[in-house]
Structure 1
Amino acid sequence: MSLTTRLTSANQADEVEDFLADSLGVVFPDDVMTLHGDASNALRYTSPHLPKPLHIQLADPDSEDDRRLFGHYLWNSSLMLAEFVEAGALDVQLLRPLGCGGEDSRLATAAPGADRLGEKAFDVRGLDTIELGAGTALPSIMAALLGAKSVVVTDYPAPPIMEVLHKNVAHNTQPVFSPSGAASDSILVDGHAWGQLDTPFARARRRGFDRVFVCDCLWMPWQHANLRASIDWFMKDGPTSRAWIVAGFHTGRQNMSGFFNERALAGSGLEVERIWERDCDGAERAWATERKDDSLRKRWMVVAVLRRKARQPVASGSET
């Protein structure tokens, strides 16, 4: 089942062109919509595991600079991570198993000593989570409804984007949307520009989160260093903290693959625990920084789990 089947228009009367746009994946199986909605077309997200559909509004940025951030759409990467969080917290199996566990574990490139992963690896119950570049914050909304201890949602502090983000989080994290009838009682929405760490918000939350969510934030290579810095800043110290990265290839592999440069990650105290690719129908394959034929790249996303890089022990007798 396609990743986008949970989405429908929230408008009472759908326009013909909206119906045709939603049908592209059926008419042209090799084509998919990578982004969804706009300011005049809110979205309804219906999960079989939630008691009510979520209602997702989209922002209408004022300036061209804010529009270039593309935070005013719902992206497939957010849909994917939201389903992972749901599967992990509710202990349900995805229709197509994750390649990071089970018989398909060979597909996932894993760091030495990495534990086997599966849907349960994305369980957020009892954890403190933060999302960077949240857009519509769907993964964070799921975390708030499914047992996370605390949820912090951030995006670039452009007023139109932040206004709609506040509305989406406030509306969709009410207990009536939760399978348990309860939602996290600690939910915060605030502005954060990656790499800007000398702010009251950032200073108060350094090393404060068990899980860092990052969805479709890798398409700007000039922001990779800032994004790594923010992940490092907010992720808790210790062996169990993780950052979950999901990103599409719609702007090309070259633009986004450099984020995973081993030396650059190590400079921020991070390393890749596991990385693989998954498409919107759940098919999986190994991660590759280059592919000769990437004509179907809009169907695919990279999924990565980052962890703290273990500090190398100081050699005996060396100077400190």
Structure 2
Amino acid sequence: MSDTESVLGNGDELFREPDDFYKPEDPPSFDTYERKPELVRASEPSEITLRLVGKSPLWGHLLWNASKVTANYLDMHGSRLLANKTVLELGAGAGLPSFIAAIHDAKRVVITDYPEADLIANIDYNVDQYARESHVERTERERFRVAGYIWGNDTEQLCKFLPEGSDGYDLIILSDVVFNHSEHSKLLATCWNCLSRRNNDSKVFVVFTPHRARLFHRDLQFFEDAIQLGFKVEKLFEEKWSPMFEEEEETKDIRSMVYGYFLSF
């Protein structure tokens, strides 16, 4: 044996990575939203199964309480808010509310999130899966558009998805996005520019949970900013759910709440 071999040992051993050196990415997971039985019409799905990205710094790996509450409310008021309407969801994650919009015959459903490849590919996957399970795949798939979009950017790319003759979206969905306080002005600007003026009943539907109890006032500032911009603000409901995260017990009641608002012109 040479001196070199005695020092370096077997070459395979030298260059083999430790067992814990590489940590593979978390695989996607799945979650199922069950619709309230009394709201399910004949031939409609009673549940929607969604794929979630394995892990995301943008929180797309969770199906949030606010998303489920948004879906519940839209399911209950679908004929008024969704039928034959144009719908835009911002910061959609898995896109649950958008699929409720499709079930209630929205004529165009545009699902957006931050232009991160895995997030957008995951939304596309969910749309394809929904279309296949509808048994009218081509018709259903054509109703949807999926796009990456950064709040506050030029809204022309969003408005190009509108059917001919539309001046804006009839309903814009914001489900659990107001926690991002630094982006409030950009988010509101996008809503202001995309909401239909021609439809006197067009609305921005905002649903959120104060996940950081000490910053609840910053969440609510979104609505003060909306009023300053020129929106009318209407509080719709507050519901109590189990908190998404186990944190300090003294803030549990605040973090368990889900609030719903409409913004309109």
Aligned equivalent of 2:58: 69
Aligned equivalent of 1:189: 146
- Deviation of 1:201 (Å): 1.2
CA–CA separation in structure 1 for the residues paired with 2:184 and 2:202:
20
Kindly indicate whether the alpha-carbon contact (under 8 Å) linking 2:33 and 2:68 is maintained by their aligned counterparts in 1.
Answer: no
Q: Which residue of 150, 154, 157 corresponds with 1:201?
A: 157
Distance 1:229 1:205, change over 3 A: farther
- Deviation of 1:140 (Å): 0.2
Aligned equivalent of 1:46: 34
CA–CA separation in structure 2 for the residues paired with 1:187 and 1:205:
9
**Alignment pair present for 1:57 and 2:51:** yes
SS at 1:256's partner residue? helix
CA–CA separation in structure 2 for the residues paired with 1:276 and 1:51:
26
- Deviation of 1:145 (Å): 1.8
**Alignment pair present for 1:245 and 2:185:** no
Aligned equivalent of 1:31: none
Q: Which runs of 5+ in 2 are unaligned?
A: 1-25, 243-249
Kindly indicate whether the alpha-carbon contact (under 8 Å) linking 1:145 and 1:177 is maintained by their aligned counterparts in 2.
Answer: no
Q: Which residue of 199, 215, 227 corresponds with 2:187?
A: 227
**Alignment pair present for 1:299 and 2:256:** yes
CA–CA separation in structure 2 for the residues paired with 1:233 and 1:39:
37
Aligned equivalent of 1:162: 120
**Alignment pair present for 1:258 and 2:221:** yes
Deviations 1:131-166 (A, max 9, x none): 000001100011112211111000000001111011
- Deviation of 1:126 (Å): 0.9
CA–CA separation in structure 2 for the residues paired with 1:145 and 1:184:
12
- Deviation of 1:51 (Å): 3.2
Q: Which runs of 5+ in 1 are unaligned?
A: 1-37, 62-66, 90-119, 282-292, 309-320
**Alignment-mate amino acid for residue 233 of structure 2:** V
Aligned equivalent of 1:8: none
Kindly indicate whether the alpha-carbon contact (under 8 Å) linking 1:152 and 1:188 is maintained by their aligned counterparts in 2.
Answer: yes
Q: Which residue of 234, 241, 246 corresponds with 1:280?
A: 241
Aligned equivalent of 2:17: none
Kindly indicate whether the alpha-carbon contact (under 8 Å) linking 1:42 and 1:56 is maintained by their aligned counterparts in 2.
Answer: yes
CA–CA separation in structure 2 for the residues paired with 1:234 and 1:177:
32
- Deviation of 1:183 (Å): 4.4
Kindly indicate whether the alpha-carbon contact (under 8 Å) linking 2:127 and 2:141 is maintained by their aligned counterparts in 1.
Answer: no
- Deviation of 1:84 (Å): 1.2
Kindly indicate whether the alpha-carbon contact (under 8 Å) linking 1:244 and 1:304 is maintained by their aligned counterparts in 2.
Answer: yes
Deviations 1:209-240 (A, max 9, x none): 00000000011110110110111111101421
Deviations 1:256-297 (A, max 9, x none): 111011xx214433120334422238xxxxxxxxxxx85412
Q: Give TM-score, length-normalised by structure 1.
A: 0.62
- Deviation of 1:298 (Å): 2.5
Bigger relative contact order, structure 1 or 2 (CA pairs below 8 A, ≥6 apart): 1
- Greater share of residues in helix: 2
Kindly indicate whether the alpha-carbon contact (under 8 Å) linking 1:52 and 1:176 is maintained by their aligned counterparts in 2.
Answer: no
CA–CA separation in structure 1 for the residues paired with 2:220 and 2:27:
31
Aligned equivalent of 2:95: 137
Q: Which has the larger radius of gyration?
A: 2
- Deviation of 1:128 (Å): 0.5
Deviates more, 1:51-60 or 1:123-132: 51-60
**Alignment-mate amino acid for residue 68 of structure 1:** P
- Deviation of 1:175 (Å): 6.0
**Alignment pair present for 1:128 and 2:86:** yes
Kindly indicate whether the alpha-carbon contact (under 8 Å) linking 1:54 and 1:177 is maintained by their aligned counterparts in 2.
Answer: no
- Aligned pairs, number: 218
SS at 1:148's partner residue? coil
**Alignment-mate amino acid for residue 41 of structure 1:** S
Kindly indicate whether the alpha-carbon contact (under 8 Å) linking 1:145 and 1:175 is maintained by their aligned counterparts in 2.
Answer: no
**Alignment pair present for 1:216 and 2:210:** no
